[in-house]
Amino acid sequence: MKATLLAILKKAWGEKTPIELSIPDDPQFGHYATNVAMRIAHAHGKKPLDLAEELRESLVRKAPADFFERVEVAAPGFINFWLTDDTIRKALAEASRHESFGSNHANKGSLMMVEFTDPNPFKLFHIGHLMSNTIGESFARLCEASGARVRRANYYGDVGLHIAKSLWGMQELASEMPPGDVSPNIKMEFLGKAYALGSKAYEEREDAKGAITEINKKIYERSDGAVNTLYDMGLAWSLAYFETVYKRLGTKFDDYFPESSVSGEGMDLVRARKDIFIESDGAIVFPGEHYGLHTRVFINSQGLPTYEAKELGLNKRKFELYPLALSIIVTGNEVKDYFNVLLKTMELVLPEVAEKTKHMPHGMLRLPSGKMSSRTGDVITAEALLDNVKKELAARVSERSTLDEQDREAVTEAMAIGAIKYSILKQNPGQDIVFDFDTSLSFEGDSGPYLHYTYARLQSIVRKAENEFGAGHGGKNFSALDSAIELSLARKILDFPDVVSLAQERFAPSGVAAYLYRLAALANKFYETMPVLKEENKERREARLALASLAARTLRFGMSLLGITALEKI
């Protein structure tokens, strides 16, 4: 609808007029609005209000008949547009003919990569990884909705001090080692305990610190059979466990990049550029102060690559493997300064890669009890949060559900995942989030369960109509829509492509989440106040059914952009 309106405005005002349209939150300011008069008034030597009136008069003369209900000017120079009911009905009929309504071709043919989640083997998959996974998966789906092909990438630390700490802990806890046939969760709990023990010992005991440092060297060299056996077993356990979590969350990665596979390339890049990296106390560092940043070590005094050098190798590898138009890296805010340094070194060493790389930091996910810490072992795992939410939801679902126990279990699982994802994505990615159980699990208000319940109710109406009146009843006939609530819901549906486009441009799924909540609120008001199945007038009943069906389809696609599976029944 916005594209159609823009075409009409440019035809009336001239192709060179820089028009931007917004959708006012308050309908009293129109269905659409523009501030073009305020932006170009000075160049025309006119007052914004006077120019706005001239533009309005020109549009009224040249616009297609019956497209606008009215066009008004508002101080200090806004032009507000109201569409006729017939324009809305025609646009709705056109939207209903497109199964992919809401998607676009802004990045058609482009190949993009989104790197996210990135949990380290031998450590627990905590709620920080859950936040990264939720945001990264939504970014990937938004890119796909713009016509891009997307590769989901996962970069994990299969070498490094954290693994040496874990192996030391595994040796100390050898008597508690779980057998090979137990569940991945039990194996991972053991590895988490071993890491916490090793991390604590490394900080508090000099003998343990020395032993762990030696283990770290052996990991890189693959020089000790016993260490290799523990390492290979723990790595296999970790990766197998992570796959169970990814499957549960609805993510399937295309590329896995272990740190060890890019270490050599990273060191080669650093050693080859003595004009950028310098030696300092036996290490090789990047003098960030020269660029308004801070100095970071890229190769340590033992000759081993740090995260920084490995990241250089990783990003080089991505673009060697694929002709990427864009590479997006999703991490927590806590490494934002680190990435500022990394991106600067990439500009200097790999300028063509840096130009197409975008870092998207996110805030922390917290519970009311406070921040987790994997260093101390006081970890809130992703699965613990999911299971807790699922347990809290079970009673609420059973009160409303007529499904059998097995189906109710699947519904509760999907709703738990949706509740957490929605609570994350409705906020701006950079913000810290405190997960509130009462708000996030409510069937009323701004929550995932509210969207699930609304969609299921709409689908229930459509199914009942098919049973009573036959398949396809309602079709795409919107001609009889005439009430205020029907047309308000129709206009909100027509906003969807613009909402998706803006979310894609800004990498802000929160825009989609906010839209879905408002759409669901209007849909609820519609089916609570407008009789659908009981409407005796066939033409009006079919129009309302068509509206309910399109609202449901829009909700389903919007939820999928957030990585949430819509439920047909609850």
**What's the pLDDT at 315?**
98
Instruction: Report the sign of the C-alpha dihedral through residues 486, 491, 497, 502, in that order.
Output: negative
**Could you give all domains of the chain from N- to C-terminal order, each with its CATH number?**
2-83 (3.30.1360.70), 151-259 (no CATH), 382-561 (1.10.730.10)
Residue (of 484, 382, 493, 396) closest to 438 by Cα position: 396
Q: Confidence class of residue 474 from pLDDT cuts 50, 70 and 90?
A: low
Q: What is the mean pLDDT of residues 372-393?
A: 77
Over 90: is that where the pLDDT of 330 sits? yes
The pLDDT score that the predictor gives to residue 199 is 95
Q: Is the pLDDT of residue 379 over 90?
A: no
Dihedral Cα 316, 319, 322, 326, nearest 10 deg: 130
Asked if residue 459 has pLDDT above 50, the reply is yes
pLDDT-based confidence at residue 375 (cuts at 50, 70, 90):
very low
The answer, yes or no, to whether residue 472 has pLDDT greater than 70, is: no
CA distances 154 to 113, 308, 314, 354, 445, Å, are 10, 17, 11, 19, 35
> Within 13 Å, how many C-alpha atoms sit on residue 310's CB side?
18
Calpha distance 570→556 (Å, rounded): 15
Q: Residue range 408-419: average pLDDT? A: 96
| Bridging pattern class, strands 255-258 and 149-156 | parallel
Angle at alpha carbon of residue 458, lines to 435 and 139, rounded to 5°: 45
Residues in contact with 392: Cβ distance below 8 Å, sequence separation at least 6, in sequence order? 437, 441
pLDDT greater than 70 at residue 378:
no
State the pTM of this model.
0.93
Q: Measured in whole angstroms, how far is the alpha carbon of residue 343 from the centre of its chain?
A: 22
Name the band, by pLDDT with cuts 50, 70 and 90, for residue 90. very high
- Summarised one tens digit per residue, pLDDT across range 46-57 is 999 999 999 999
262-271: average pLDDT: 96
Rounded Cα gap, residues 309 and 313, in angstroms: 6
Collapse the DSSP code of 1 into the 3-class scheme (helix H, G, I; strand E, B; otherwise coil) and give the result.
Answer: coil
Please tell me the least confidently modeled range out of 284-288, 346-350, 405-409: 405-409
Across the chain, what does the average pLDDT equal?
Answer: 94
Tens digit of each residue's pLDDT (9 = 90 or more) over 104-138: 999 999 999 999 999 999 999 999 999 999 999 99
